[in-house]
Amino acid sequence: MATLEDMSAMVTSLNKRITERKGRLAPAIKDLRPLRKTYQDVTMEYEKKKAAYDTCAAGLETTLTSLEQFEQCGQMPHSCRAKLGHEIAEQEKRGKALRERQKELREKQASLRAQTEQWTHLQALLRAKMAAVTASTQWHQGAPPPGSAAAHGDTNSRDWLVL
């Protein structure tokens, strides 16, 4: 079993070794601080320049692709011209069809509006007819006709309808 003196000697020995190592490492740590700062600065500059390079490379790639396509069209001008001519003709057909459809709708607009008005009048007429039939049915079933004195509570007078 270790005595208190042995333990104290061991702690003293360990503290001495730690102090010696700190003394040896202190100059290296002191030299390392500016190197870390330099590393961070260089890393930031590298990232900026890499981003600029990537942007430039992407732009050049796009330009190269468009030039290659232009070159292909230059080697086969008839096929590109025919393709573009076909697309233009299709668009012109669509435009003509749309103009014709617009003209038809403008021509039909007045008649469609008149037809809508006629339909509205027909609905009103049918509603009036239904109201008249309903009133007539009630009168035939013993209820006084609408507008008569009996309908308003006067039961002494008679209202005769002769057909």
What global pTM score does this model have?
A: 0.34
What is the distance between the alpha carbons of residues 159 and 144, in angstroms, rounded to a whole number? 9
User: In which band, very low, low, confident or very high, does the pLDDT at 144 lie, cut at 50, 70 and 90?
Assistant: low
Q: Within a domain: residue 155?
A: no
Phi-psi sector, 147: left (phi>0), alpha (psi -120 to 50), beta: left
**159 has a pLDDT exceeding 60:** no
Domain membership of residue 64 as a residue range? 20-75
Predicted local confidence at residue 111, as pLDDT: 85
CB-based contacts of 92, cutoff 8 Å, min separation 6: none
Q: What is the mean pLDDT of the chain?
A: 85
pLDDT, tens digit, 9 for 90 and up, residues 31-87 = 999 999 999 999 999 999 999 999 999 999 999 998 888 777 766 667 777 888 889
Alpha-carbon torsion, ordered 108, 110, 115, 120, to 10 deg: 140
Give the pLDDT score at 147: 59
Structural domain tally of the chain? 1
